[in-house]
Amino acid sequence: MPAALLALAAGAFGIGTTEFIIMGLLTQVSQDLQISIPTAGTLISGYAIGVAVGAPVLTLASRHWPRKFLLLSLMLLFIAGNAAAALAPSYGWLMAARMLTSLTHGTFFGVGAVVATQLVAPEKKASAIALMFSGLTLATLLGVPFGTWIGQHWGWRMAFAAVSGIGVVALLILARYVPRHLSMPAVRHLGHELAVLRNASLWRGLLLTVVGFAGVFTLYTYIEPLLTQITGMGDRMVALTLLLFGAGLAIGNHVGGKLADRLGAQRALWISLAGLLLVLIAGYWLFASTALTIAFVLLLGIAAFATVAPLQMSVLQAAGEAGMNLASSLNIAAFNLGNALGAWLGGAVIAQGLGLTSLTWTAALPTAAALLMASLTLRHHASRPSASMAAGMH
C-alpha cells in the first residue's frame, strides 16, 4: 500500500476527531460560554447540518478541480475552522467555526475514496478504501478520548487547537505523498450528475440512514453528562469509557461489513437495527452501575457501527453505477442529518426536564421506526423474485 493512502488516512483521522470531540467537552463548553448543555449539544447538530449541505454541493462544484489541489484546499479549510473554534469568544462564533470546518467532511471522504482506488491495483481497491477509512475509526478509538483528556487538563480550547495541529500534519503528509497527476473524473454535464435524484429507491435508502442513525446520536451526544451525572464517573474513567466506545465502533464496522457480504445489505441492515434497538432499550437500567455502563457503551459502539456498512451498501445499490459518486456523498450527508436530528431530539428531552436516563427510551423511538422501514424494504425485496417468476410463467 503506497504512502499516499496513509496520508489520506491521516486526513480522515483529523476530520473524524473534530466531528466527535465536542461530545467529551459539552460540560466544559456550556460552563465556559454560559450556555445550557442542550444548547451546547446544538454544536453537534450545526456540524452535521454543515456536512449535509457541504457534501453534495462541494462534490458537484469541485468536480472539475484537480484531485490533489482539492484535497489540500479542504485540509486548509479544516485547519482554519478548528483554529477559529479554539479562539471562539462566544457560542455564535463557535457554531460558525464548527460549520466552517464541517464543509470539508463529506467531500474529503467522497473524493478521498476515489483517489484511494487510483493508487492501487484493481484487486486491492476495497482494501485501499478500508485503509483510508481506518483513519475515521482511529479517530473514534484514539483521537476523541485524547482530545477529551486534553480538554480536561488544559481546557476545551486547547483540544480544538490540538485538532488544528493534526490538520497541519495531515496537510504536510498529503502535500508530500499524494501524486499530483491523478486521473480526473469523466467530465459530465451537471444534469447527468443530478439524474440519480429521480431514483425513489435512493431517497428511501437515504431516509432510512437519517432515521436509523438519529437514535444513536439522541443518546451518544449527551454521553459525557450521563457518565458524570448519572453513573458518577470521574474524568479519567470518562476518557477510558469513550475509548471503549471507539473500540466498539471498530468491531461493529467489521461485523456489519461481514454481515452485509454474507447475508446481503437488506437482511444485514434489519439484524443490525434490531440489535441496536435492544441495546438502547436495555440502556435505561444500566447507567446506575459503573461496570454495567462500561459494558453498555461498548455494546452501543458495536451496535451503532454495525449498521453503517449495510446502510451505505443499500444506498449504493439503489443508485446504480452511474449515480454512485453523488449518492455516496448524499449518504454521508444523511448520516450527519441523523446526527443533527438525534442531538436536537435528545436536547429537547433534557430541556423538558425528563431527565438524562430518559434519553435511552427516546433514542429507541427513531431506531424502532428505522427497523419498521427496514422490515418493509426487506419484504419488498423478498417479494420481487416471486413476482418475476409469476410474470415469467405467464
How much is the pTM? 0.75
What's the structural domain count of the chain? 2
Going from the C-alpha of 68 to that of each of 49, 116, 179, the distances in angstroms are 26, 12, 7
- In this prediction, residue 297 has a pLDDT band, given cuts at 50, 70 and 90, of very high
Query: Do 167 and 259 share a structural domain?
Result: no
Picking from 15-19, 134-138, 160-164, 358-362, which range would have the lowest pLDDT averaged per residue? 134-138
DSSP output for 349-376: HHHTT--GGGHHHHHHHHHHHHHHHHHH
Query: Do 199 and 141 share a structural domain?
Result: no
Find the helix packing angle between 91-102 and 37-61, rounded to 10°.
30
CATH of the domain at 130: 1.20.1250.20
Residue 113 lies in a domain: yes
Residue 221 lies in a domain: yes
Residue 321 makes CB contacts below 8 A (sequence gap 6+) with: none
Contacts 24+ apart (CB under 8 A), 96-99: 98/22, 98/43, 98/46, 98/47, 98/50, 99/46, 99/47, 99/49, 99/50
Better pLDDT: 325 or 107: 107
Query: Do 277 and 159 share a structural domain?
Result: no
CB-CB neighbours of 362 under 10 Å: 19
Query: Do 340 and 308 share a structural domain?
Result: yes
Query: What sign for the dihedral angle of Cα 21, 23, 25, 28?
Result: positive
| Domain assignment of residue 307, given as a range | 195-386
DSSP output for 264-328: -HHHHHHHHHHHHHHHHHHGGGTTTSHHHHHHHHHHHHHHHHHTHHHHHHHHHHHH-GGGHHHHH
Q: Which of 126, 145, 179 is the last residue of a domain?
A: 179
Residue 263 lies in a domain: yes
- What confidence tens digit (pLDDT) does each residue in 41-61 have? 888 888 888 888 888 888 788
Q: What percent of the chain lies above the pLDDT cut of 90?
A: 27
- Using CA atoms, how far apart are residues 76 and 81, in angstroms rounded to an integer? 9
Q: What share of the chain is helix, strand, coil (3-state, %, to 5)?
A: 85, 0, 15
Residue 392 lies in a domain: no
Q: Which of 128, 147, 179 is the last residue of a domain?
A: 179
Query: Do 243 and 310 share a structural domain?
Result: yes
Residue keyed to cell 459503573? 290
Query: Do 8 and 149 share a structural domain?
Result: yes
Mean per-residue pLDDT over the chain, rounded: 83
Query: Do 320 and 271 share a structural domain?
Result: yes
Cα-based torsion angle of the residue sequence 9, 20, 25, 52 in order, rounded to the nearest 10 degrees: 130
Q: Which of 125, 150, 179 is the last residue of a domain?
A: 179
- What confidence tens digit (pLDDT) does each residue in 134-187 have? 787 788 777 777 887 888 889 999 999 999 999 999 999 999 988 887 766 555
**CA 127 to mean position of chain CA atoms:** 20
CB-CB neighbours of 347 under 10 Å: 23
Q: What is the CA radius of gyration of the chain?
A: 21
Query: Do 167 and 119 share a structural domain?
Result: yes
Better pLDDT: 106 or 92: 92
